Amino acid sequence: MNEKSEGRLTHSASPYLRSAVHQPVAWYEWGAEAFARACAEDKPILLDIGAVWCHWCHVIDRESYENPQLAAVINQLFIPVKVDRDERPDVDARYQAAISAISGQGGWPLTGFLLPDGRPFFGGTYFPPEDAMGRPGFRRILEAVAAGYRNRRAEVEEAASHLAEAVAKAETFAGARGQLDARVVDDQVESIVNLFDARNGGFGRSPKFPHPAAIDLLLERYQAGAAQRLLEVAATTLEKMGSGGVYDQIAGGFHRYSVDERWCVPHFEKMSYDNSELLSNFVHGYQVTRNPFLREVAEGIIEWTNTVLSDQVRGGFYASQDADQSLEDDGDYFTWTLEEVRAVLAPEQARVIELTYDVEAHGEMHHNPAKNVLWIARQPGEVAATLGMDEASVRLTLARAKGKLLAARLTRATPFVDTTFYVSWNAMFASAYLGASAVLGGAQGAGCRGFALKTLDRILAEAWSDARGFAHRIGGERLDGSLDDQIFAATALLDAYEATLDRRYFDAARRAADFAIAEYFDAEGGGFFDRASGAAPLGGLEVRRKPLQDSPTPGANSSAAIVLDRLFCYTGEARYREHAEATLAAFAGIAPQFGIHAASYGLAALLHARQPFEVVITGNSGDPQAEALEQAANSVYRFGKAVLRLTPENLVAGNALAPALDQTLPHLRADVAQALVCAGMTCRPPVSDPTALIALLKEVPASASAD
């Protein structure tokens, strides 16, 4: 064991770094100590960026970083630095851009070779320990890089300088500024539809990742009167994903992506940010289609999250669940052999499971051909016809059998759950839970609402600082937040205000947005940087970066424009809309080229042109007509729609309504059951019939103010 590495990593807040304590590599955490050591010893830095949930990160750890001979080479020739990409998304983003420019690929583990000042000059992703399949092994690469650093220093320095300049230009989107044109949405929609896989759902070929912002964009455009084709693309994709092995058919929740184009065999890790955005997708899809299967999948995500990925006592959502329990199992926790199914279930139950989920003697997993990924191969009606049963009996048998399989699975060694609370991801899940609560209703909806509010209360209490904004995580030594943390928290707090009319949440959202404008906004070029102007020096690749891509979370600049436009509608303060417009204009010249990978920009541009709108429902508490209006308003999906339930009690309480809305509705009678649809500073005449309200909401145009 390396004593120095152990001392440096033992008390790290990162489980990924703590997992490397036993390795013989003399790891440093990212920071000034590592750079000072590299400069003092004139050694290049070996940078490893990974995550605790990352399968191939575990592989390179075992094959190379736990190998004493390779570790000795690393310790002799390099200053090794290990980074958790979840803890330091700012570091990861910059080096992903640089290494991708060098090698043509990114991902994790990311392996970079840096000058002592942190500028990269070579790198890649996973390297095998020895030469294999025509690829050089890690030992050969280590020795060649070190020799190049010693013997061709001028070339290495020049290459690093050119690369740093190229990354800086690309990441700040130099020359991307343009005239904001809402027609960019049409270009993006066309690009998304052209990528659609009509046979399997989703976009492009394997591997397939979810694209939640693209689904929301298609659904919104369809709701605003666009072609039926957009609904077909969105609905087919949701149905195929929910039927595939990428969705955990036994416990709920989505794995990170599918290695095949059929959504069948996943990479088995489950991420917070995927499940929050997909929960919203399936809720929105259910609103538009009323397909009960989409609701069932949404409910499954919630059930799994409540059980596995959250602190139900204190509030908060955990970061991830690992794919594997060990390096050899490759998803064994989530997959089944035919014998395993039959050992758990009665014969009739086993047969229903086998037919429904295509469980056979030969499954889909390459490492163990007997292992089956469960995916929906047949619907209950087909199974009933095959077995001579009625469909209701098949559904009941299926539900009971799934319960038994889940109970049996829970006795297996369980993949690691990273219980870190990242503010941005918690805020995203809180928003998703609040949205699900309004649509799903009942006990589950109430539970989602209560847990989301508990989570946001915890974030406000433990992560906010008036001087430094939101931290990146709750717990451990403070790690200052990124733009994502400020913007997604502000978004969730606005969502909480809309759900409760508690001005505490509105005021907190406004403080977060104001902090983001003050500390992150580029007053000269427009748009927001990912790090605050007052942030401590990054060390290494000092690039001022403006995040646009949805990768993997929604683009922070697009999300910032959305939250600023929402604040403008609530406050009437032009500065919010001006900052939103400057942000969108900063990327207007380049956004169409990103297509599906910046679909959140399309949503932001659409909302900026149309303006958000509020549905104000009045009436006494418990008034059945008011409740019917609220239910009707919540049943319709429109992007940027808020439903505010105003009663005489919260009107009398004082400042329930945000300033601009309060001025728009000065003579409102809160005891009369009615609904008003407001956009900007104007409202449509009130309606009292739920059907009329639904029709009114669907009339709101795609890109013009509803006045």
The DSSP element (H or E) to which 591 belongs, if any, is helix 591-594
- The whole-number pLDDT of residue 5 equals 57
Which pair of tokens denotes residue 633?
A: 């308003």
Residues 6+ apart with CB under 8 A from 671: 618, 619, 620, 648
Asked if the structure places residue 150 within a domain, the reply is: yes
Q: Enter the tokens of residue 279.
A: 């929960």
Residue 437 counted as domain residue: no
pLDDT above 70 covers what percent of the chain?
A: 98
Which CATH number belongs to the domain containing residue 118 in this structure?
Answer: 3.40.30.10
Contact between 486 and 494 under an 8 Å Cβ cutoff? The reply is: no
List the one residue out of 614, 608, 615 whose CA is nearest residue 702. 608
Say if residue 369 is preceded by a cis peptide, omega within 30 of 0: no
Cis peptide before 552 (omega within 30 of 0): yes
CB 426 within 8 A of CB 453: no
Q: Which of 533, 575, 553 is nearest to 487 (CA)?
A: 553
Q: How far apart are CA 482 and CA 495, in angstroms?
A: 20
Looking at 49-63, 190-204, 320-334, which range is the least confident one?
320-334
Q: What is the pLDDT of residues 82-93, one digit of tens each?
A: 999 999 999 999
Distances 156 to 114, 119, 152, 702 between C-alpha atoms, Å: 10, 10, 6, 52
Average pLDDT, the chain: 94
110 strand-pairing partners: 49
CB 47 within 8 A of CB 105: no
d(CA 15, CA 37): 24
Task: Look at residue 649 and tell me if it is in a domain.
Answer: yes
Instruction: Say whether pLDDT at 371 is over 90.
Output: yes
Identify the residue whose tokens are 């992903």: 96
CB of 586 within 8 A of CB of 173? Answer: yes
Going from the C-alpha of 531 to that of each of 47, 250, 483, 585, the distances in angstroms are 21, 40, 6, 20
Q: Is 417 helix (H, G, I), strand (E, B) or coil?
A: strand
Q: What average pLDDT does this structure show over 22-50?
A: 96
The answer to whether position 422 is within a domain reads no
Q: Which domain holds residue 149?
A: 3-171
- Ramachandran class of 358: left when φ > 0, alpha when ψ lies in -120 to 50, beta otherwise: left
Residues 618, 622, 626, 627, CA torsion sign: positive
pLDDT at 182 over 60: yes
Query: What is the domain-level CATH number for residue 645?
Result: 3.40.30
Domain final residue pick, 171, 202, 233: 171
Among 118, 150, 171, the domain boundary falls at 171
| Cα–Cα nearest to 647, from 667, 668, 661, 631 | 668
Is the pLDDT reported for residue 702 higher than 70?
Answer: no
The answer as to whether 125 is a domain residue is yes
Handedness of CA 124, 128, 129, 130 (dihedral sign): negative
User: Residue 1: what pLDDT?
Assistant: 42
Find out whether 686 and 669 touch, Cβ atoms under 8 Å. no
Rounded-to-integer distance, Cα 542 and Cα 545, Å? 9
| Residue 706: predicted pLDDT | 33
- Domain C-terminal end among 392, 411, 430: 411
With CA atoms as reference, report the closest residue to 52 among 81, 22, 26, 87: 87
- Which residue type occupies 506? F
- Per residue in 521-568, pLDDT tens? 999 999 999 999 989 888 888 889 999 999 889 999 999 999 999 999
Q: Does 686 map to a domain?
A: yes
Question: Cα(691)–Cα(400) distance, rounded to whole angstroms?
Answer: 39
Task: Tell me whether the omega of the peptide bond preceding residue 109 falls within 30 degrees of 0, making it cis.
Answer: yes
- Among residues 465, 371, 370, the alpha carbon closest in space to that of 423 is found at 465
Which candidate, 267, 130, 157, 253, places its Cα nearest to that of 209? Answer: 267
Measure the CA angle with vertex 373, ends 370 and 378; round to 5°: 110
Phi and psi based region of residue 289 (left: phi greater than 0; alpha: psi -120 to 50; beta: remaining): alpha
Q: Given pLDDT bands bounded at 50, 70 and 90, which one contains residue 584?
A: very high
Work out how many domains the chain is built from and give that number: 3
Q: From the CB of residue 68, how many other CB atoms can be counted at a distance below 10 Å?
A: 9
| Domain membership flag for residue 14 | yes
The one-character DSSP state at 372 is B
pLDDT of residue 6: 62
CATH number for 357: 1.10.10
Q: At residue 390, what are phi and psi to the nearest 5 degrees? A: -85, 155
pTM here?
A: 0.96
